[in-house]
Structure formats: structure tokens, C-alpha cells
Chains A and B, each alone.
Chain A
Amino acid sequence: MKLSKIALRNINRNKRRSLLSGSAIAVAAASIIFLFALLDGMETDLADNIQTFYTGTIRIIHSDFEKNKKINPMHLTVKDPDKIIEITKRINPDIQVSERISFPARIYIGSRYFNAMGMGVRFPDEIGFQKIEDVIVEGRFPETGREVLLGARLADKMGVKTGDKITALSATAGRGSNAMTFTVTGLAVFPLLEFTNSVFMIPLETGQDFLKMKTDVKELLLKYKASSDQDAAALIDRLRNETEKNGIKNIDISYWKDINDTYSMIAMAEKMYMIMAFFFLLLGCSVIINTTMMVIYERTKEIGMMKALGMKNSDVVKLFFLESFYIGIAASAAGVIFGVIISQILHHTGINFQNMMEDMDFEMSTVLYPVVTLTSVVTIFLYSVIIASISTFIPTLRATGINTVDALKHN
């Protein structure tokens, strides 16, 4: 009789034992799937927020801005942004472009003033770029002139509502000071708490007028789905060549992962994730090994019986390996499916971390959505099956090493 048939029969014969050993594998697999989904969700969210709100996939700024960014050198602007956009679109018409001017400002309400972060943007472009329509919770986005969209918590702090007027003061590109009064047309809740707490958005032209920037912008953010880091590097090289050919000087074109403080943060967070993932894999491993090994130790007598009936040692090892392999496949599949279902439900409902993120400079959304990736599903499935199957070797080899009479006597 084929060993695989005997293995299947053994599994069937002692359903309870098979179920027990399977359940350990399934629980371990489901827990790890969920944990990985949470970690992947965090990473995707971080990467998405950084690209949407801070750097784009590729960022173009004045070449001296980055090293002086802490002192907000408003005069270090990107000149002739239209020309750069034209070049970009010529290279790849699908690239989304966001022209932005972000600047620190103070908003005056009576005798009080509030520190805030102003942002001049082209609202129609931001519909595609940061899905601005989805974040507006009241009113509408500014269309022209002196209209402003406020972060909802900033508005709340200032006691301002839609229709009210606010006055903002900021340093201009010419190193002077300028104040401008805006009418609040809408309130927004951004995925990032920092934005909801401190950002006000005005039309780009109004920002240029306010900060005396003529037609310049502070930065151009380009967003597109880079198939790989090399693909992005190639695009950046082309952009650099083309802009240089067209006489555009003093600009820095960078890939988001190469911008100092953003990607290093993800790398740091990943370090933490890896430690946690490692422990969970280890824990899952110990439970799977524990159950599998125990099942076999309990069956030393059976091994003795098989050997007495003439079965070769290698066949006994194979038989137990196959049993565990089949249970491993079924249990891992069940565990992975269960883990995926839980993660998918939470992917739709989200997990709210707002309370934990108050006042933190963390580019993570307040609501996190676990993401199940094919890689983690396949990896964890294989991991569970392999661990369950391999862990049969030690006890089986030992059991087959005992002489038949002793094995038969084993309790």
C-alpha cells in the first residue's frame, strides 16, 4: 500500500488527534497572518502618506532648500514650474503633479495668535493627488481669491467655523512680513492628525501673492506608480537631463526614499516590526513543534508495531512526515483563511489609533487598515507547513532508533 494512503488513513482514523495538532498550526498561522497584515498596513500607510502629503514619489525643490529647511527659507523657490511640468508630462503624461507652497504662519483671532502651517495648492489638481474632496467634512474647498480650507481641529482650537474670517501673518520670499485675511469655506479632517491640527490651505495663486513669490512655487511633487526603485531612478535621470537642457537651474530632484528623514523612519519602524515578527514566528514555531512532536512521542508504541510488521525505518519516517505534511497543509490553509478573513474585515472597518497619536510627529494615519499581501499569505502558509513537517523528523528518527521490542513496550 502506498505510504500516502496509509498517512491519510491514519489522519482519518484518529480525527481528534489530527484536529488537535491541526488547531495549533491553524491558530499560529492565523495570528501571524493578522500581525503581518497590521505591519504591512502600517508600512503601506506610511509610504502612502509620505508620498501624498510630504514628498510625492519624486520631489522637486530648490537645491539649497533641504539643508536649510528648518529655518523656512521662503526665498529658495522653484522657478518656472510650468516649464518643469511641461517637461514632466512630455516624459510621462500619466504623472500627477502637485504644485505647493508650504509656509509657517500665525493666525490672529482677536488678541490671540495660533501657530499654523499654510499651504498653497491648486485645488483641482489635489482632487486626484490627495483626494481632497474626501477629507472635507464641512463646506467646500476654496475656488479663487482669499478663501481658505481649515484643518477641523485647528478651526476648533481657534473657535472658527465656515463663513468666518481669519487673518494670517507670514514671512515673505523677500524676507518681509505680510498679512492677509481669508474667508473659511470648508473644514477638513485629513488622515494625518498633524494636518488636521495645524494646516490651512489656500489657492496657489493667492499663496504666491501672499508670499510675494510671483509665479514660483516651493515644491513640485510628482506622483506615479514606480514599478521599481530603478524605474524611478531612470525617470529622475531623464528629468535631470531634460531640465538641464532647458536651462532650469538650482533645482534638486529626489526620489522619496532618498529624502532624509522620511524613509529612515520607515526603516526604523521596520526594525521594530522585524523583532516582533521574529518573536511571533518563534512562538508559532514552538506551538507547532510542541504539538507535532507530542503526537509522535505518544505513538512510539505504534512505530514499534510497524517495525515489527516489517516496515523499514525510512518508511516510518516518511509516513509520519506525510501525515504531518497533510495536516500542515489543511491546518495552515484554514489558519491562513481565517487570518485573512479577520484582516479583511478590519481592512474595511479600520482600527482607530487617534488617541495614541496625539501630538506625535508620526506620518501614520489615525485609522489604520491592515493589508494582506500575497507574499505574506504564501510565506506564512509555507512556513507553517514546513515547520509542521520538519518537526516530525526529530521524534520519528529517535523513535525509529529504539529497538522494536522497547518501542512496543513504550508507554
Chain B
Amino acid sequence: MIFLIKLSLKNLARYRKRTAITSLSIAVGLAFYIFLDSMIIGSVYDSEKNLFMYETGHGVIQTEEYWKEKDLLPLEYSIKNSSEITAILDKLGVPYAERTNFSADMIVYKDPYPEDGNLPVKVTAIDYKNDSNVFGIGETLEKGRFPQNEEEGIVIGAWLAEDIGADIGYPVTLVTRTKSGYYQVIDLEITGIINTTNPVVNREALLIPRGIAEIYLEMEGSITDINLKFNGSRNNSKIISLLRKELSGTGCSFHTWQEMVPDFVIASEGDMKGSGVMLIIIFIIVAVGISNTMLMAIFERVHEIGMMRALGMKDLSVKWLFRIEAAGIGLLGSSAGVLLGVFINIPLIIYGIDYSKMMREGNYGYRMIGIMRGMWHAEAFITAFFAGILLSFLVSFIPTRRALKKDIPSCIRD
């Protein structure tokens, strides 16, 4: 085997140009894959960070009935025994934030607003101190202040404020229904504007004190969500299984952050699949290049093959000689590809691609506000490196078989 490896390496060195050219096409393909992967992984990483910090935490506890109809935000299914649940969380040492989400119609009037209008909104009632156990909203105040617990004040997202022409001190009217289903009107004053790195929060956030929700929505001490933050890993399976066990029989259940934001999970998984398809197309193109090179190498060396076989080299050894040679090209191509990948990844990480206009306008699943930045992803580099070698090695199987079809005399005569 060592002889075969040595001979293959000698051949690679002998046909330096051919080796270099073929390696180059492998390198370009792999670098493209690394680029694409870096962009997706970078976006996913930023989005996850922004989801945990401002939207979901690492998961949520809701009543089972509420979870089934969560899109409709049904207050009547809120958690009535929240102290029982929080005692479990205290016992397990899991930080939590209690929140109540409800839907409302937000009404604004001309003067001070530029126009009369209304829009359907989702409002979140929070206890500002308790909320910081899980979320980072507290550090994102751009203007004004957070209201006191029973103050009729509201904090809104910066983009929402810009969209409706709102500012500190402006009045807001919310028309909603109480937990018992009666209509209720809440008049509030904007006391603060938050600017986070999460586009959904910037575009939609309306935060009121929990004390106000308690009074106006007649919550009777109940809340709709208990968001959690796990120490260490975001998917702390040990704590999750303990928690699920403790929650059984309470009427409440735990749901992971992935279950809370299916739009993001779908978008990121779709893109991962997309990059997988890209990788296949890249490999097809590259495979044609490699197989051409190998075929050419073999056809040009029929005479040489004949000679080696005549001198007693076994067919299997001849096959392995070419396979090792192909793997050698793969190794060179993969190394160059990984290196090229590093080079094109640097500007992607430092400068990124500016998608701020698109992210400002609509929800595309990802939670980042502008620059889509790449990321170092060791797995992609390793995958690319070994895939390049493996592909090259596998592609060489067909041409090597063809090399041995001819009998020895006709090989030598060729």
C-alpha cells in the first residue's frame, strides 16, 4: 500500500498542471458551499440570540388549552395557579418571567398623530423587574422610561413608533376584551420607546405594566405565559424532562422555543435544505470535472498501465493506484477550497450583506435587523474538506474499471 501511495503521489507531482487545474474546480465548489453555509449559520445564530433575548426565552409554560389556541391569545385559558408553577421552577433553579399576552385594536387619533387610524395588535403585559430574569428588554430603551407597575403607560417598539408617527407622551387607546369576554377600553400614554436587535419586537412590541393588565383585563392574578431561561444549554434536556415530570397534573405544559416560532424554524430549515440542494448541484458539476480528469489520466496512460500489469502488478493494485491519485487531487482541492472558503468568509463576517431594507418591511422568519453576517462554522469546513476527498475518491471508481478492460498486449501497443 505504501508503494501505491508513493507512486500515486509521484504521478500527481508528474502531472502537476492537471492536478492543479482539477483541484481548483473542487476548491471553487467547496468555497461556494462554505460561503452559503456561513451566511445561513450566521443568520440562524443571530436570530436565535435575538429570539431568546427578546421574544421567547428558551421556552414557555402555558395551560394545555391555551397552547392549542395560542394564535388567538385566549385569556380565559390563562394560568390560574401560577404560584404553584413558579414554586416548581424555584425548586429546579430555573429563572422565569411571567407575561400576559392579549390581542387588541389600537386606536390613534389625528393630532398628535399625523392621521386617524387603527390597527390590530398583540399587547404584552410584563413585570419589568421579573422580566429581566429571562429577557433583555430592560437595556433597549431608546427614549423615555418604563412605567410603574400600576401606571397607565405603554412602551412601544421603535419601528412601530416610526410607522404610526408616535412619540413619548402620545396617547394610545386599546380596545380589547377582558378575561371574562367583556369589552374594555384602556387609555394609555407612551412613556418609552425600545429599540432591540429583533425586527419582530421593533415592529410589533407593545408592553404595558402587569398591574394594568390585572386591573383592566380582570385577570384575578392569572397570567398567560411563564417564559424560562435555562442556565448553560438552551435545550437543557435534563431540566426539561424534570420539568415536564413536575408539570404533569398541573394542567400546564412546557414548550420549547422552536415550537413557539415555527416561522423561524421553517425558514432556517428551508434554507439549510436549500444549501443541501446547492451542495448536490455543486458536487455534480465538480464530479464531472474530476471524472474527466481521471478518465483523461487513465486513457493517456493506457500504455503505462499495460506495462505495469505486464511487470506483474495486480489489477486491484492498478485500481487503487488511480483511486489514491484521485483522493490526492481531492485532498489538494479540499485544502485549497477550505483556504478559499476562509478568505471569502472574512469579508462576509466583517462586512456582511445589507438586508436592512428588506427586514424593515416584512417578516421573513429570521430575527435580524439588517446586516446578514457570516460565521465561522467548523462543521461546514470539515464537511467540505472530507466531502471533497470522498467525492474525488468515489468518482474515480468508474474510470479505473474502464482502464482494466483491455488485455495487456493491446494496452502496451496503445
* B285 at the A interface (CB under 8 A): yes
Nearest Cβ in chain A — how far from B403, in angstroms?
Answer: 13
B278-319 residues with Cβ-Cβ distance < 8 A to A are 278, 281-282, 284-286, 288-289, 292-293, 295-296, 299-300
* B95 at the A interface (CB under 8 A): no
Give CA–CA (A264, B278) in the complex, Å. 26
On whether the beta carbons of A360 and B118 are closer than 8 Å, the reply is no
On whether the beta carbons of B115 and A71 are closer than 8 Å, the reply is yes
* B398 at the A interface (CB under 8 A): no
Indicate whether A360 sits within 8 Å of B288 (C-beta atoms), given known contacts A114-B72, A279-B32, A283-B28: no
**Which residues from A are CB-within-8-Å of B103?**
113, 115
Q: Which 5 A-B pairs have the closest CB atoms?
A: A71-B117, A361-B362, A356-B270, A359-B263, A70-B163
Binds B, one of A14-22, A245-253, A370-378: A14-22
**Which residues from B are CB-within-8-Å of A275?**
353
Most chain B beta carbons < 10 A, residue from A17, A31, A71, A73: A71
Give CA–CA (A284, B282) in the complex, Å. 9
Closest to B304 in A: A411
* B250 at the A interface (CB under 8 A): no
Give CA–CA (A27, B395) in the complex, Å. 16
* A383 at the B interface (CB under 8 A): no
Indicate whether A20 sits within 8 Å of B362 (C-beta atoms), given known contacts A71-B119, A115-B103, A271-B353: no
* A366 at the B interface (CB under 8 A): no
On whether the beta carbons of A355 and B296 are closer than 8 Å, the reply is no
On whether the beta carbons of A264 and B357 are closer than 8 Å, the reply is yes
Indicate whether A358 sits within 8 Å of B263 (C-beta atoms), given known contacts A23-B292, A294-B18: yes
The total of chain B residues at the interface (CB under 8 A) is 61
The total of chain A residues at the interface (CB under 8 A) is 65
Closest to A293 in B: B21
On whether the beta carbons of B289 and A24 are closer than 8 Å, the reply is yes
Give chain A's interface secondary structure class.
helix
On whether the beta carbons of A20 and B114 are closer than 8 Å, the reply is no
Nearest Cβ in chain A — how far from B12, in angstroms?
Answer: 14
**Which residues from A are CB-within-8-Å of B160?**
70
Most chain A beta carbons < 10 A, residue from B107, B296, B299: B296
Give CA–CA (A358, B180) in the complex, Å. 32
- A residues at B contact (CB < 8 Å): 16-17, 20-21, 23-24, 27-28, 31, 35, 64, 67-68, 70-76, 104, 106, 111-115, 157, 171, 175, 260-261, 264-265, 268-269, 271-272, 275-276, 279-280, 282-284, 286-287, 289-291, 293-295, 297-298, 353, 355-362, 411
On whether the beta carbons of A294 and B293 are closer than 8 Å, the reply is yes
Closest to A291 in B: B292
Indicate whether A298 sits within 8 Å of B300 (C-beta atoms), given known contacts A114-B72, A268-B355: yes
On whether the beta carbons of A20 and B35 are closer than 8 Å, the reply is no
Closest to A171 in B: B118
Give CA–CA (A272, B355) in the complex, Å. 10
Nearest Cβ in chain B — how far from A396, in angstroms?
Answer: 13
On whether the beta carbons of B116 and A265 are closer than 8 Å, the reply is no
Indicate whether A71 sits within 8 Å of B118 (C-beta atoms), given known contacts A283-B282, A290-B289: yes
**Which residues from A are CB-within-8-Å of B74?**
112
B226-279 residues with Cβ-Cβ distance < 8 A to A are 262-263, 266-267, 270, 273, 278
